[in-house]
Amino acid sequence: MPELPEVETVRRQLAGTLIGRTIERITLRRTDVIRGAGPRRFRETLRGQTVEALDRRGKALIVRLSDGVALLVHLGMTGRFCLAPPGVPLAEHTHMIAYLADGGRLVFRDPRRFGHLELTCADALDETETLRNVGIDALAPEFTAARLSEALAGRTAPIKAALLDQRRFAGVGNIYACEALFRAHIDPTALCGELDAQQVKALHRALRAVLRASIAAEGTTIADYVNGNGVPGGFQRRLRVYGREGEACPSRGCTGTIARIVQSNRSTFYCPLCQRA
């Protein structure tokens, strides 16, 4: 489900509704989604904490609490972190419930359980399991075309695989990697070293543009992603290649057909005609 735009959408919505509210108690229905502390310490540390801010780095959500405590949320493929509607039974696969002092319920739900919650100190974020291998955010002002160029330098992997690597810059997943490569007219199978400076610049611009456009549309919903208010995103209608195998290439004047190939076990969608190394 969640790449940078989807996590950013959740962050913005929760920032609007959660800041200043206090956790009264925590219920864990499964403990294997918890990191950084055992279940008992997890519950006891969060009890009585007030939400002060919500931040994000790449695909990770950072909930900053009173007392210098932080809760890191990674949604994996199917995770949701949102307020449960009042008066309705909690959905299946709800692993953690934070009962708020005002009666609200903040829940973590994740059928596939690739996501997790990690408890940490706000000043130790870089050492956490969730963030220790995560580079700068792909929408941070410091992530310039020059930084992208550095990130790709010396690599021999195909560019598509390099975009999914969160270590040098973070937030790009399978959908937006495909979409950015299409917008920049770059062949996803091209090796990093084969791109010239102009292509790297075009790719940087395409990455930032597609991430921003998706945030403006409140993210992409393929199957079951919903934002903090339970509403699906709108960007799936504006995807140009992802999930569009067999359709005509949407580039003006291009007569190609969108193809699907597999790269490092993930689907890549692209136009073999207008995306060139």
Partner DNA sequence: CGGACAACCTGGTTGC
Partner DNA sequence: TGCAACCAGGTTGTCC
Q: What six digits make up the tokens of 115?
A: 């996501």
Question: Residues binding DNA: what is the number (CB under 7 A)?
Answer: 44
Q: What six digits make up the tokens of 67?
A: 């007392």
Residue 268 burial by CB count (10 A; 0-12/13-18/19+): exposed, middle or buried? buried
Active site residues: 2-3, 59, 266
Within positions 101 to 120, which residues make up the interface with DNA, using CB under 7 A? Answer: 111-114
**Which member of 103, 223, 252, 253 binds DNA (CB under 7 A)?**
223
Q: Does 164 bind DNA (CB under 7 A)?
A: yes
Q: Does 257 bind DNA (CB under 7 A)?
A: no
Nearer to DNA, 112 or 276 (CB): 112
Q: How far is CA 77 from CA 15, 40, 64, 261, 262, in A?
A: 22, 27, 23, 21, 18
Q: Does 135 bind DNA (CB under 7 A)?
A: no
3-state secondary structure of 169: strand
Positive or negative: CA dihedral 187, 188, 194, 197:
positive
Within positions 62 to 81, which residues make up the interface with DNA, using CB under 7 A? Answer: 74, 76-78
Applying CB under 7 A, the span of 2-10, 43-51, 63-71, 195-203 interacting with DNA comes to 2-10
- β-strands 60-65, 51-57: how paired? antiparallel
Contact set with DNA (CB under 7 A): 1-3, 6, 58-59, 74, 76-78, 92-93, 111-114, 129, 133, 154-158, 161-162, 164-166, 173-175, 192, 219-225, 233, 264-267
